[in-house]
Amino acid sequence: MTEQEWYAQGLRFACTQCGNCCTGPEGAVWFSEEEGQAMAKSVGLEHETFLRRYARKLKRGWSLKEHKTEHGFDCVFLDRETMPGKAICSLYDARPQQCRTWPFWKENLETPQAWESVKKATPCPGMGKGSLVSIESIRIQRDALP
């Protein structure tokens, strides 16, 4: 029998569009070849041009570039201009799995303490708020990344 996850009753989450998960210390926004192609298409660029302009090749794979702002290292596609007081993803519909599945990453879900600590460290005001995300939906998001 498989052990029940500590979040078997679901977890609350509602993004407030603060952008905190898209900035902070230097990091990586990993994406696959297919995701790179989808993002390139969404901004109307050839795949190669998109990679040259917006991505960097790291040991583990391709990551979106970041740029230093007063908030930290913002993802190159984080838009703080369009909606005053909000920070939105300018390629939301084509964003990679890493972004789609936040905050339901394996490491964040390991223990209630891990969940609480990432909620404070990011900080992500959406975690623990809003509507209940079901265990089925959490599992799909949790297992979407390698």
* Residue ranges in contact with ligand SF4 by CB under 6 A: 15-21, 102, 122, 124-126
Smallest distance from the beta carbon of 107 to ligand SF4, in angstroms? 16
Which residue spans within 70-122 are E strands per DSSP? 72-75, 78-79, 88-89
C-alpha–C-alpha distance, residues 139 and 10, integer Å: 10
Nearer Cβ to ligand SF4, position 36 or 103? 103
Smallest distance from the beta carbon of 118 to ligand SF4, in angstroms? 10
Smallest distance from the beta carbon of 19 to ligand SF4, in angstroms? 5
Nearer Cβ to ligand SF4, position 16 or 69? 16
Nearer Cβ to ligand SF4, position 46 or 116? 116
How many Cα atoms occupy the beta-carbon half-sphere of 109 within 13 Å?
21
Q: Measuring CA to CA, how many Å separate 4 from each of 9, 27, 58, 60, 131?
A: 10, 32, 36, 32, 21
